[in-house]
Each structure stands twice: as structure tokens, then as C-alpha cells.
Amino acid sequence: METDTVKIAVLASGTGSNFKALVEGDTAPGVVDVLVTDNERAGVLQLADELGVEGRYMYPGKFRTRFGNAEEKQWADFLEDRGIQLVCLAGLMRILKGPLLEAFHGRILNIHPSLLPAFPGLDAQGQAFRYGVKVAGCTVHYVDQGTDTGPVILQRAVPVYESDTRDSLAARILTEEHMIYSEAVKAHCEGRAVYSRVVRQQKE
Ligand code: GAR
């Protein structure tokens, strides 16, 4: 029996290397259907064009780090009307608070460049580098109301070397991001990952 395709929308604000990894990686039965950005000048728009994926800019509202409520509803309506089943955040520098979370509850994934719950928020690689950790990494997780919280699907660790700079560490992490994002999307699309928290009870 053939598995039905899962239509994916990628939301991104910047360069789009994770978007590219999702388009080119094995996410089957998931297929990237559209790229939506909140940044008219984002390199990811050009990349979408080159990769033959429809790319569009949508106004996010007047705030810098979150959506306006009306605008978030417009984004959610657009994605629902298009029949999108999974939303992948790939460097979207904006938190979701309302309509998108409601419309796609349990069907929004995010990639974050740290081993969460360590170093949530902006410049996670810089935070890890400055802290002096010896192991860093990246996480794919389901999105909830928090900032970089939500059930973890996959993580991968990388070593931090004495010779590293913030940027050399970020590059090492990014290579792993590209690998685990496709793997996690595939796992979700095949039903091997679901939005549920595993609560581990402490033994007496
Ligand atoms: C990636 O490192 C991604 O993990 C990070 O932004 C970068 C986007 O790069 N996301 C976050 O920090 C979200 N909290 P890309 O545009 O080349 O995919």
C-alpha cells in the first residue's frame, strides 16, 4: 500500500540552509510544498527559486520577535487552505503564540542549535561557546507556547575543541542540523514521532 504524501510548509527568516536540507533530504512521505518567510530580503527566497519550491513573503506584523495576532491568523489560514499537514520552522526568528499553534497543534517542528534545554533563545551557539561547554549540539523538537521548549524528537552532540571560535563551532553544529532535521521530519511523517511528553517518574 502506498503511503500518502504529507505536505510540508517551511517557515524561515534567513539563509535557509536547513530549508535546503529538508528539500534535498529524505523526508518521505513528507514533501516540502511551500516556503514562507517573514523577511522580504531573506536569502531563502532566492534559494526556494533555485530549488523549484514556491516561496513567498508574508507580512508578520509590526513586532520584531513575534507575530501580530491578526497576521499570525493570516499565516495559519494560508497554510490550512493549502492543505499543509506539517509546519517546519527553519531559522524563523519569531515566536508563535496563538493562531499557528492552535491550527497546527502537535504538527510544528523546530530546529535549534543547542542541546536543549540548555541555551534556548538567540545565538545558542555563542551562548554555548562563551559558557565553555565541551559538548554542544542541536535539537529538533515539537513547538509549544514556550521559547525553544516542547517535546524533543532528535538531538545530536558535537565536540567543542580548544581551537574553536564561535563560528567554527556553529558550522560544526549546522552540519548536524542538516542531518537530524530530515531524519526527524521523516520520523514524524511516518508516525514514529508524536507530540507527547514522556514523564519519567523518579524511583523512590
Ligand atoms: C540555524 O542554525 C537554526 O538552528 C537557527 O537559525 C539558523 C538558521 O540557519 N535557529 C534558531 O536559532 C531558532 N531558535 P539557516 O537559515 O541556514 O537554516
pLDDT tens figures, 119-141: 999 999 999 999 999 999 999 99
Categorize the per-residue pLDDT at 1 as very low, low, confident or very high, splitting at 50, 70 and 90.
very low
27 & 98 share domain = yes
User: What is the C-alpha separation between 176 and 155, in angstroms, rounded?
Assistant: 9
Distance 199 CA to ligand 1 centre (A): 28
In this predicted structure, the answer to whether residue 159 has a pLDDT above a threshold of 50 is yes
Residue where a domain terminates, one of 70, 104, 138: 104
82 & 123 share domain = no
Active site residue 141: no
- Axis crossing angle, helix 124-131 with helix 166-189, rounded to the nearest 10: 130
Categorize the per-residue pLDDT at 196 as very low, low, confident or very high, splitting at 50, 70 and 90.
confident
**Average pLDDT over the chain, rounded to whole?**
95
Side chain identity at residue 54, one-letter code = E
98 & 2 share domain = yes
Mean pLDDT of 80-91: 98
Residue where a domain terminates, one of 57, 76, 104: 104
28 & 100 share domain = yes
Distance 201 CA to ligand 1 centre (A): 33
Residue 200 confidence (pLDDT): 52
Residue owning the nearest CA to atom 1 of ligand 1: 91
91 C-beta closer than 6 A to ligand 1: yes
50 & 92 share domain = yes
Residue 3 confidence (pLDDT): 65
75 & 116 share domain = no
For the chain, how many structural domains are there in total? Answer: 2
User: What is the C-alpha separation between 106 and 103, in angstroms, rounded?
Assistant: 9
Using CA atoms of 155, 75, 67, 88 in order, give the dihedral in degrees to the nearest 10. Answer: 10
Categorize the per-residue pLDDT at 197 as very low, low, confident or very high, splitting at 50, 70 and 90.
low
- 90 to 15, 18, 50, 70, 139: CA distances (angstroms): 10, 6, 18, 22, 12
Residue 79 confidence (pLDDT): 98
150 & 96 share domain = no
Nearest one of 24, 29, 38, 23 to 7, comparing CA atoms: 29
47 & 91 share domain = yes
Categorize the per-residue pLDDT at 201 as very low, low, confident or very high, splitting at 50, 70 and 90.
low
3-state secondary structure at position 128 = helix
Residue owning the nearest CA to atom 6 of ligand 1: 91
71 & 120 share domain = no
74 & 151 share domain = no
180 C-beta closer than 6 A to ligand 1: no
More confident residue, 195 or 129: 129
pLDDT tens figures, 7-53: 999 999 999 999 999 999 999 999 999 999 999 999 999 999 999 99
84 & 154 share domain = no
CATH number at residue 155: 3.40.50.170
Distance 113 CA to ligand 1 centre (A): 7
155 & 86 share domain = no
Residue where a domain terminates, one of 104, 121, 151: 104
16 C-beta closer than 6 A to ligand 1: yes
Domain that holds residue 130: 110-204
> Catalytic one among 112, 141, 178, 188?
112
- 132 to 4, 11, 129, 189: CA distances (angstroms): 46, 31, 5, 36
